[in-house]
Amino acid sequence: MPDIPFGFALPGGQPPDPNDPAQMQQFMSQLQHLLSAPGSGPVNWDLARQVAASQLAAAGDPAVSPFERNAVEDALRIADLWLEPATSWPSGIRSSVAWNRNEWIFKTLDVWRKLCDPVASRMVGAMGDLVPPEARAQLGPMQSMVATLGGALFGGQLGQALGSLAAEVLSAGDIGLPLGPAGTAALIPANIKAYGEGLELPEDEVRLYVALREAAHQRLFQHVPWLRGHVLTAVENYAAGIRVNREAIEEAMGRVDPTDPESMQAIALEGIFTPEDTPAQKVSLARLETVLALVEGWVCHVVDSAAGDRLPNVVRLGEAFRRRRAAGGPAEQTFAALVGLELRPRRLREATVLWAALTEQRGIAGRDAIWGHPDLLPSEDDFAAPETFAATGSDLDEELATFDFSAPGAPEEPTPGEDDSKS
């Protein structure tokens, strides 16, 4: 008879015999105990939250003090005032908050669920396919438990990745995606303090620069209604082309011992997912990288313009943030290895130059009018010739007057936390 897959074993190290009901019952009882954490779907998100919270508790998650809360509110208020002459849109902030690291995870988890579930479901499906066809009928309930095991494994790994990210991100919009509730500008004081110490710059100056970036993100996503759906759809389309490395799954699962829960924590699922090298996937990747670069390039240009001579170290801060976003931190790299998604705007510098050229040629209002519809946005090819794109069709008023804005660029996404059934 075929061996039980994944290397599961009874006490003593021997795999259970599929023909021995007693051994199978004992084996499945152990597995059920191992997978007792609640959760459904391709990712056990309850387990992910628990793992992330445990990781943050071990590393430290300082509570936000009243002083820090007031400092964040003041910084965001000043940032909004400075942005007024630098953009054509009013404030996009409905509430200003200071989060600790756990709050960042809790408030952004709905969007992570939307982005990660489709990728995780393919891993769970691949795990089920590893069971030999001739053994599936004999395993019976084991089949459904494979999916539960996959959800637990992926939930634990995602929890570790999100816990690491939570210790690095500086604000709700720090990695360029609309992760938090719409209209909520949020900074993470503990991470801002640590980042400022690394740069050897005053904490209040770093905080204000981060506030400018967060406030700029809020203006962009609040006043460009199609952008949230456009960005998330670009991520989803790219994720749809990620394939599962079945050999990596089989190797990882071979190290699981249901009698030793710590064996699950020792599994590294990095490298399970790899992008498909197909023309369609290359187009999806280019579209994702372009939209991320355009968002981040606009934010960088607007923030540096708004800060001007107001911040003594604005040039140093701007360069540090561009390098940070282009390279990604250790946690971002871990996340990319785990789910196959790299959220880095690779062409950030070219996009920043392009928005500067548009401002010079068309003014602030003309530059921001480009966000009126996704079809008006620069393409990847335009990054190579920003001056040409800025000068072409400079009579934008006539172009916009005849443009069909009724054609949506992408379906709008519900605000994170909303009940999808209301849509």
What value does the mean pLDDT take over residues 263-280? 66
Q: Do 317 and 311 meet the contact criterion of CB atoms below 8 Å apart?
A: yes
Distance from the first to the final alpha carbon of the chain: 50
State the alpha helices, DSSP H only, in 60-179: 66-83, 101-129, 133-139, 142-166
pLDDT of residue 68: 97
pLDDT of residue 415: 44
Those residues whose C-beta lies under 8 Å from the C-beta of residue 326, and which sit 6 or more positions away, are: 344, 345, 346, 348, 349
Res. 138 pLDDT band, cuts 50 70 90 = low
What's the pLDDT tens digit per position in 155-189?
888 888 899 889 999 999 988 888 999 999 999 99
74 has pLDDT over 80? yes
pLDDT of residue 14: 45
Residue in 12, 149, 172, 21 with CA at minimum distance from that of residue 97 = 172
305 has pLDDT over 70? yes
C-alpha 162/C-alpha 422 separation (Å) is 28
Residue in 153, 148, 160 with CA at minimum distance from that of residue 49 = 160
Torsion over CA of 351, 290, 345 and 160, rounded to 10 degrees? Answer: 160
Q: Do 154 and 270 meet the contact criterion of CB atoms below 8 Å apart?
A: no
CA distances, 190 to each of 68, 159, 197, 200 (Å): 9, 20, 11, 15
348 has pLDDT over 80? yes
Res. 194 pLDDT band, cuts 50 70 90 = very high
Find the range with the poorest average confidence among 2-6, 81-85, 197-201, 395-399: 2-6
Res. 347 pLDDT band, cuts 50 70 90 = confident
Res. 210 pLDDT band, cuts 50 70 90 = very high
pLDDT of residue 246: 72
